[in-house]
Amino acid sequence: MSTPTREPYRPVYHFTPPANWLNDPNGMVYFQGEYHLFYQYHPGSTLWGPMHWGHAVTTDLVHWRHLPVALYPDELGAIFSGSAVIDWHNTAGFGPETMVAIYTHDIPNAQDQCLATSHDAGRTWEKYAYNPVVLNTIPLRDFRDPKVFWYASNPDVDPAAGHWVLLLVAGDVVLFYTSPDLKQWTQSGSFGAGAGAKGGVWETPELLHLAVDGGAERRWLLVVAVGDGAIAGGSGVQYFVGDFDGHVFTSDNPNDTVLWADYGADFYAPQAWNDPPDDRRIWLAWMSNWAYARETPTTAFRGAMTIPREVALTRTPAGIRLVQRPVVELAMLRSASWRLAPGNIAPPAPGEPSPEQTDRRYPEALECKVTFQCAAAITAQRCGIRFCYAEGVYLEAGIDLARGALFVDRTQVWEVPEHPTLAVVQTAPLASAGDMHHLHIFLDRSSVEVFAGGGQVVITDQIFPRSDDRAPDVTVQLFADGEGVRLVEGVIYALEPAAG
């Protein structure tokens, strides 16, 4: 991936298209050593328009190679979101190991599900002659975003015995279908009437079978993007934990339980790679929000993906919850590193800003790990780390000790004037009220991703530190608004461009 450095908000190590508009990740599948990333793409503009599937691959989850556009709109419509599978057992008769994309065809008043096939590892594609394969039979325009995977009824005995599962969203519920051959689909159930957050239309469902705390117990994670009314305003992603019997999902929780995958404003439509080469399930998401996605101040491109994250489940007193961790491969990008001096964090004198940890300037693409410890007798209510770009232009990530929450304050690094209400301080409840708080932060030129609580809470945000006359680097301050907070450990890594 070549990174045009003249664009001030072009990420250094996050995936972006060479130019123009990007939204959801699509067709995520691992095949013959390559992780494929297709994505909603408008090659003609930095605004959303007739959707294509852009295409890129990575062999290490870090360095990306751009490939030509994979799917173009045709007489059936534009190519909306969907997934891809490898038909290992040639169930469809397209030939062994065919890569099959299953996507939504969109025309102004209809959405149906269609197939395309590739025999050369996703480089060239042919649309199936008998599309669509799932016709919209209900009078709802919103009927889209098929996620398909192979459900092996007894994977340890015979991985080839089973059927295909397709889930899609219809309005604000998820519909399930099964098929022996990817071509003929029978509806097998639905989930979501009256359940979860309903502030907008549901989009881009995902369903994963995950181990709980790395042990033998496994539960199913159903993930649904919701177009509006999400936790940080605008669009966001909720999840459900439960069971899936090959036909329909049932939740472990009552209908009014609402669980958020990310408490920031810019995490949408996550999709995990099918057929991963190891036992990790890894996803990434579109790092934007439909409320303002069209108005962000980037120039040649608009839209980026999050870093790839490993997803898992953990048991908590409140129930089983999603955990996300940055993939370990990202450590490949580290170059220089700096240790922050441990010690008590002095509260500022009245009217004074916190002292800078050092007068060093750090590159604006960095990874940072900090651990704060709280004394038994503590007067501080907030502590954290502040990345300063210029006078009055800073980003804060920290712990709201009074509320037991992670927070990110992007109000001073926001440049989307039409949406002032979305530049609020975001908070995410931390389950454990222990005295140690670890933050793992990935900062890039126009985004921040903060992981806390062992990955149980994440805040992902776009940021737009003013681009005029600022130096492309940051200073760092540690802060606490009272006594009793100590930095136990802190390290900052410069991250290299993810050039292919």
Nearer to ligand FRU by Cβ, of 24 and 396: the residue is: 24
Minimal distance, residue 106 CB to ligand FRU, in Å: 7
Q: Cα separations (Å) of 60 from 65, 270, 454? A: 11, 19, 24
Answer yes or no whether residue 145 interacts with ligand FRU by CB under 6 A.
yes
Nearer to ligand FRU by Cβ, of 97 and 142: the residue is: 142
Minimal distance, residue 419 CB to ligand FRU, in Å: 17
- Give the residue from 13, 2, 17, 1 showing the smallest Cα distance to 300: 17
Using only the alpha carbons of the chain, give its radius of gyration.
23
CA–CA separation, 291 vs 284, rounded Å?
20
Answer yes or no whether residue 24 interacts with ligand FRU by CB under 6 A.
yes
Site map (CB under 6 A) of ligand FRU, residues 267-286, x = contact: -xx-----------------
CA–CA separation, 118 vs 393, rounded Å?
48
Site map (CB under 6 A) of ligand FRU, residues 90-129, x = contact: --------------x-------------------------
Question: Annotated catalytic, 24?
Answer: yes
Burial class (CB in 10 A: 0-12, 13-18, 19+), 19: middle
Q: Classify 212 as helix, strand or coil.
A: strand
Minimal distance, residue 134 CB to ligand FRU, in Å: 14
Neighbours of 270 (CB within 10 A): 25
Minimal distance, residue 187 CB to ligand FRU, in Å: 19
**Judged by CB under 6 A, which of 58, 136, 179, 204 binds ligand FRU?**
204
Minimal distance, residue 198 CB to ligand FRU, in Å: 16
Catalytic entry in 24, 87, 106, 172: 24
- In degrees and rounded to multiples of 5, residue 42 shows phi and psi of -115, 100
CA–CA separation, 115 vs 102, rounded Å?
5
Q: Classify 454 as helix, strand or coil.
A: helix
**Judged by CB under 6 A, which of 11, 14, 17, 23 binds ligand FRU?**
23
Answer yes or no whether residue 203 interacts with ligand FRU by CB under 6 A.
yes
Size of interface with ligand FRU, in residues (CB under 6 A): 13
Answer yes or no whether residue 80 interacts with ligand FRU by CB under 6 A.
yes
323, 456 contact by CB (below 8 A) = yes
Q: Classify 49 as helix, strand or coil.
A: coil
Which residues form the interface with ligand FRU (CB under 6 A)?
A: 23-24, 40, 51, 80-81, 104, 144-145, 203-204, 268-269
Which amino acids are annotated catalytic?
A: 24
